Structure 1
């Protein structure tokens, strides 16, 4: 547990939370609590009670998914037949009721979320019901002449079990067909079943960078190995960052996680008992055309592995399901080619990409660590409880909750971000199944942290360049004794820069401050950035005076952001500056920590993980960011805090960060988790994770101990990237004798 540093109140002294237990305040949490209690007790769950706080589509779907064993009562509503069928499928998967292959194939008609549920349970269905039934079910699905998306998905299911539902000649026709996704799925299936990709593997014979890499990995698996270099003994760790760039925070989907994983990987590679770190990122077609190298060293012992994605743009949250099997295949192929083998794979998001990597870990025999967060759990009722909620958003968030349960069930170790109590109590209220067989001792809350600040080369020149536009904007603003309000982050609706601008104007803070927003792509913005920029423009159109008092700068490197923050915080700059994070929520808030470390007075969101370290009125301000009015009130407090008080709060904040929130401490704590996870023997007691077995039912080979070396590129990795010589799909998890 992360211990409070000097001058930090104990949890009991912190701002009290709302009265009552979470399940007494939130109907969605209550439904999950009752459901998992009933699962553990082996009895029916009580009916889900509807209330005004949980009405509409959310209530219907929760009743269908969390009314254990009993089908929901028929009543008119917004839920479709497919909605109810998916809810019951998810409920059965949670309790270990493995659906038959025929049910799986029928279920995929329910859409993308149904396909995701089927993909999660398919290996267990294969083992439970046998390859003959699975082959027949797939043959029936393919014979009905479905759309290309469904066809490719069925071919992917066949490849998982190395099944041939159709004659090789028919599969070869798919492999030469016009639809990319079908074509690629057929290639992978043919090779998994011991056949070759046709020589003419497309209608035109022409291939782009992605297809060239895929064909090379399929046709020459042994030659594309990643190779090895000499290194130190220990555990080889892989960590995932499937969205955004590791080195361009603030652009597109790139945010604090990239900064964190870059610094964490560097620090972990220097930690005792860790042989090396591989950070898995994605590379879309244009990125592969520009640079086909898949494995590079970032720092001593820390390697960056690029997983190819068949897309014309970097994948976003809405895309991960479309590339699920593709991601699992590439991750298993490339991570499985490293020598020594990856011991532990760590995923941090409840999305289809993380579930794909969990499947890759199963195939290569690596342990899985999952960082569970109560997102979107703690906001389900508030966001979707009232009638009239956006149906797509309701379904998407319920899907994410299901994925979180899947990952928690598959993980060999679950860790969380410490809550206000310094432990995992809040997490357990949203993941009640984790308080069962595994016990609370198995849920660690390693500290988060930031890397020590290093100014980098040319700091003086960079400092002048960074401050010049702000100084010029202050002159143009013509505000007596203005305050600079700095906010740094990618332009995204959840970061709420547009809400911040409206709050800044409506509260009147624009009359006495300059608002500086840092973030966004300097080139072509994505849809999320467009929405935020449109919202900012609409807010400024309502108040022409504010237009000269706002400065929007494109994303800066992390080094430049931290240099700018230190410059603004330095009294010698002559600038009165404050930092504000307007996000709807932050699971932790690394940018907030960096501003605190720089010596700025910080205002952060009341929701999420920031209140764990930022105590209102003690080392910063906590503000309600849920509405324009409440955010405006927080800005008024921030601007109105006198300089002496601001300096004292900032001093305490900086002391806390430097004493308790270093990336080195985070690396040491995670290193302990990784070593213990890699070395522990399977626990045979009730509630233990499923036991890996092969499709034949024989036990999977035990993990080998001994010396681990750091991965390095082979001569081929500079042109084609690493691959693997293994064709086996690896072990399939045995369904647990107890519920998830």
Structure 2
């Protein structure tokens, strides 16, 4: 079986910080060294083949020898994208004619040109850019496929190359993307609304909202203080463990609630996205969560939130919705906090700059730290792996643009956090010095027991052990067996299928039960469906083992934490270990919550878990890069005496309760947000500032 840890890469392990890393060398040379020097593999570096060609194209100006010849694999589009990214990083925008001469039907090209366009307009002037757009839109060779890109570039920069009458005569009505771009453009024109369709005739809720977006949003209680927006653009805030919703849903839900109680914070907006399925259930775009914490939903013309790598087609529309809805709020957003290096965050950064809102960006060195190790010449150079490499290089570019454009960059807490961040983002050392950017302490929200807590815990355990023939429950007769618990969204990076595989081949199923909590039974996302399919394939012919495995649908966070407390109670729950088999966890909210509940935990060596789980002291660290590594970890876990398991559980609980309170993170961020909101604005043009389309 090919596990998620094995598929599409040679290894999931990062290089040690001192090991040769071609990406680090290329970026340091580009940002700090002579840019005419070719990026080359050192004698002690692993040969990299295709990776070296991509890095040469993107980070040096002397790359001819490595991107041509019999062994070259880069095509013209790859080279074009690489050179455009280089121009963006150098703050060297192309003229409008040059921008629009490119093949922006290529999504990767269009993504870079979108980021370059506002500075192009600022440098060359609105009249010139408007004239160039008009020539393209009225020319005899206009391709209908080009209309969305051209109209979106006009609308985003406040340009009016066509009148409303001219715009509606474009052949854009039969293609959904072009039609929507036309409507967005018409909204910006005097009298343009008269050409918009009747919302009652719209094909679906998204088009109904686009034809008639709200001009104002409901007022919230008037309070003094900083208005903060925090973004969670993948998944749903209220359904952790389903689809793309994971620990970030839990973190931002609790963090937003707690921020809203601080005397210096006037209001908190958690910005999420709403796809077709969500809009069908609810059309309201502003949903109160607490009196001072509101959820703002940005419509997306897709069934659900796209994954990080899938945002390119939706960036222009997401930016338009954010600008529109921010302007409709009763109070201006002072600070927005962006957390992922993708095009969705770039769209929100565009909207923030348009509104004069300060931006905070949490930078993480992913996929930077595994790139060289993953794409060495010992791997296949099949087109699917080249596709993954292109995606990773694009994510690195997006993160660079967000670092460049943010008013404040913060890192991830931990002993090696600043070291890894400065290693992979050389510009941050120039900006913050050798200690790197500040990093807030991480934490989890306090657990509030229900008045009927003991009854609810008993009901949860009874439901868990109701019937071993069900896929979401265990047999009552197995209640005394030790239990392995794993909580998280069903996704390849979480590697639940590898956990099941290892549990089976090591025959741990004979002496333990396994409970996996996550995913949706009713409407599983593609990754959930694939993970379930793999698990069902593994269980084929293993009926006895299947009765000792329960895959329980995701449940509200407080229910998860109640279940963990029930399992941690020696008077009612079995001897339980919490097992996280993920390839890596940046922080691991679910692990920390299990520790706080009193469970002994295991987590991956890679990522941030090692910052608070000390192997053999308050938990175990696992090699999750392969089934054999995970098998060794599970065997070690199973061989520990009960007294050691209990000691680790107590130590884990002490760590969580004394060092990782959410209040510490809240206090840090309140200070950061309030200080930033009051700081005089500096000239941001050198950081790729957006032109105000007003």
Question: Which has the higher relative contact order, 1 or 2, with Cα contacts under 8 A spaced 6 or more apart?
Answer: 1
* Closer/same/farther in 2, CA of residues 204 and 579 from structure 1, 3 Å limit: closer
Q: Which residue of 2 aligns with 1:171?
A: 167
Tell me if 1:496 matches 2:488: no
**Is the CA contact 1:477–1:548 (under 8 Å) kept in the aligned structure 2?**
no
Corresponding residue to 2:438 among 437, 444, 462: 444
**Is the CA contact 1:243–1:281 (under 8 Å) kept in the aligned structure 2?**
yes
Corresponding residue to 1:190 among 186, 190, 199: 186
Moved more, 284-293 or 101-110: 101-110
Q: Which residue of 1 aligns with 2:75?
A: 80
Tell me if 1:227 matches 2:222: no
- Aligned partners of 1:509, 1:528: CA distance in 2, in Å? 26
- Aligned partners of 2:306, 2:126: CA distance in 1, in Å? 33
* Structure 1 residue 396, shift from structure 2 partner: 0.7
Tell me if 1:61 matches 2:54: yes
Scaled by the length of structure 2, what TM-score is found?
A: 0.90
Q: Which residue of 1 aligns with 2:7?
A: none
* Structure 1 residue 442, shift from structure 2 partner: 6.5
Corresponding residue to 2:118 among 108, 115, 123: 123
**Is the CA contact 1:162–1:189 (under 8 Å) kept in the aligned structure 2?**
no
Q: Which residue of 2 aligns with 1:658?
A: 657
1:325-724 equivalences under 5 Å are: 325-386=316-377, 387-389=379-381, 390-421=385-416, 423-440=417-434, 443-456=437-450, 458-472=452-466, 473=468, 476=475, 482-541=481-540, 543-682=542-681, 690=687
DSSP-derived class of the 1:551 partner: strand
* Structure 1 residue 492, shift from structure 2 partner: 0.5
* Structure 1 residue 201, shift from structure 2 partner: 2.6
* Closer/same/farther in 2, CA of residues 476 and 118 from structure 1, 3 Å limit: same
DSSP-derived class of the 1:436 partner: helix
> Gaps (5+ residues) in structure 2?
1-12
**Is the CA contact 2:412–2:439 (under 8 Å) kept in the aligned structure 1?**
yes
* Closer/same/farther in 2, CA of residues 502 and 316 from structure 1, 3 Å limit: same
Tell me if 1:292 matches 2:295: no
Question: What does the per-residue CA deviation read over 1:353-374, in whole Å, with 9 as the maximum and x for residues that have no partner?
Answer: 1110000101100000000011
**Is the CA contact 1:438–1:688 (under 8 Å) kept in the aligned structure 2?**
no
- Aligned partners of 2:474, 2:201: CA distance in 1, in Å? 61
Q: Which residue of 1 aligns with 2:26?
A: 31
Q: Which residue of 2 aligns with 1:699?
A: none
**Is the CA contact 1:174–1:183 (under 8 Å) kept in the aligned structure 2?**
no
Tell me if 1:157 matches 2:150: no
Question: What does the per-residue CA deviation read over 1:246-299, in whole Å, with 9 as the maximum and x for residues that have no partner?
Answer: 111111111111111110001111123111100111112332233221112211
* Closer/same/farther in 2, CA of residues 125 and 225 from structure 1, 3 Å limit: same
* Closer/same/farther in 2, CA of residues 502 and 53 from structure 1, 3 Å limit: farther
* Closer/same/farther in 2, CA of residues 670 and 19 from structure 1, 3 Å limit: same
Q: CA RMSD in A?
A: 2.7
**Is the CA contact 1:281–1:306 (under 8 Å) kept in the aligned structure 2?**
yes
Question: What does the per-residue CA deviation read over 1:12-51, in whole Å, with 9 as the maximum and x for residues that have no partner?
Answer: xxxxx999744x332222222222222xxx6534423278
Q: Which residue of 1 aligns with 2:9?
A: none
Question: What does the per-residue CA deviation read over 1:98-136, in whole Å, with 9 as the maximum and x for residues that have no partner?
Answer: 122233223344621221111111100111122344234
* Closer/same/farther in 2, CA of residues 28 and 543 from structure 1, 3 Å limit: farther
> Gaps (5+ residues) in structure 1?
1-16, 696-728, 731-740
- Aligned partners of 1:662, 1:305: CA distance in 2, in Å? 26
- Aligned partners of 1:300, 1:522: CA distance in 2, in Å? 33
Moved more, 194-203 or 590-599: 194-203
Question: What does the per-residue CA deviation read over 1:664-703, in whole Å, with 9 as the maximum and x for residues that have no partner?
Answer: 111111111111211122457xx996496856xxxxxxxx
* Closer/same/farther in 2, CA of residues 427 and 354 from structure 1, 3 Å limit: same
Question: What does the per-residue CA deviation read over 1:66-86, in whole Å, with 9 as the maximum and x for residues that have no partner?
Answer: 114765642342211100110
Moved more, 507-516 or 378-387: 378-387
Tell me if 1:274 matches 2:268: no
- Aligned partners of 2:143, 2:277: CA distance in 1, in Å? 27
- Aligned partners of 1:236, 1:516: CA distance in 2, in Å? 41
**Is the CA contact 2:199–2:212 (under 8 Å) kept in the aligned structure 1?**
no
- Aligned partners of 1:153, 1:632: CA distance in 2, in Å? 51
* Closer/same/farther in 2, CA of residues 541 and 87 from structure 1, 3 Å limit: same
Moved more, 360-369 or 265-274: 265-274
DSSP-derived class of the 1:188 partner: helix
Question: What does the per-residue CA deviation read over 1:444-492, in whole Å, with 9 as the maximum and x for residues that have no partner?
Answer: 1101111001133643443233212443549749779632000001100
- Aligned partners of 2:562, 2:392: CA distance in 1, in Å? 37
Moved more, 62-71 or 77-86: 62-71
Q: Which residue of 1 aligns with 2:310?
A: 319
* Closer/same/farther in 2, CA of residues 197 and 60 from structure 1, 3 Å limit: same
- Aligned partners of 1:467, 1:371: CA distance in 2, in Å? 39
* Closer/same/farther in 2, CA of residues 54 and 658 from structure 1, 3 Å limit: farther
DSSP-derived class of the 1:336 partner: helix
Moved more, 369-378 or 435-444: 435-444
* Closer/same/farther in 2, CA of residues 273 and 637 from structure 1, 3 Å limit: same
* Structure 1 residue 240, shift from structure 2 partner: 0.6
* Structure 1 residue 309, shift from structure 2 partner: 1.4
1:241-260 equivalences under 5 Å are: 241-260=232-251
Question: What does the per-residue CA deviation read over 1:142-176, in whole Å, with 9 as the maximum and x for residues that have no partner?
Answer: 44756655321221011122223345433113487
Q: Which residue of 2 aligns with 1:91?
A: 86
- Aligned partners of 1:112, 1:491: CA distance in 2, in Å? 28
**Is the CA contact 2:14–2:373 (under 8 Å) kept in the aligned structure 1?**
no
Number of residue equivalences:
669
Tell me if 1:47 matches 2:47: no
Moved more, 653-662 or 404-413: 653-662
Question: What does the per-residue CA deviation read over 1:390-435, in whole Å, with 9 as the maximum and x for residues that have no partner?
Answer: 12111111110100001000100000112334x5121111111111
- Aligned partners of 1:490, 1:605: CA distance in 2, in Å? 16
- Aligned partners of 2:109, 2:233: CA distance in 1, in Å? 22
